[in-house]
Structures are given as structure tokens and as C-alpha cells.
Amino acid sequence: MSVAGRLGGEEFGLFQSGLTFEEMHTRCEEIRAEIAAVVLHAASGSRVQISASIGACQCPPGFDPSERLKAADENLYQAKSLGRNRVVA
């Protein structure tokens, strides 16, 4: 099962169940690479490259949603501080 939504501002959440840590990390890297491959063309003729910083975490059985969201958010800010356009899990 997958559920995606906007958390606020430029932050989005993707919740996927049934993945191992490796599968979760691989999927996040695939998403990051797909976003980085997008090139936007502005009306001025300039090209704009976009990227994504992703903070990921696993949710064990019986997890506290607010704690897991906080963990993912901390990983996101670590990804940003390490230079952006990366996954931290």
C-alpha cells in the first residue's frame, strides 16, 4: 500500500508498507533520480533543473506516527545540510 500527500510548503510524504530497509532506500533513490531528470523550460528560454532531498525512515509494527514523522524530518534536514539532492535514511 502507498499513500502520498503534501505535508506543507515544499514537503511531501510518501508512506509505503511492506518494504525492507533496502527496498525503501532503493525506491527513494529512484524517486530522487526521476525528479532530478526533469528539466523545465522557462518562458525566457532558460532551463531549470530541479532536485529532491529525501528523508526516509522505517516504521516498525506498533510505531508512533509522530515519532516516525519526526525521524523522517530529521533525515530530510540532514540530506539538505549535506548538499541536497540525496536520500538520508
**Mean predicted confidence (pLDDT) in 8-28:** 93
Q: Does residue 1 surpass a pLDDT of 90?
A: no
- The type of residue at 26 is T
pLDDT at site 25: 96
pLDDT at site 53: 96
Q: Where are the alpha helices (DSSP H) in 2-57?
A: 21-36
**Prediction pTM value:** 0.89
**CB-CB contact of 56 with 72 (8 Å):** yes
**Mean predicted confidence (pLDDT) in 61-78:** 94
Mean pLDDT of the chain: 94
pLDDT at site 84: 95
Hey, what domains does the chain have and what are their CATH numbers? 2-88 (3.30.70.270)
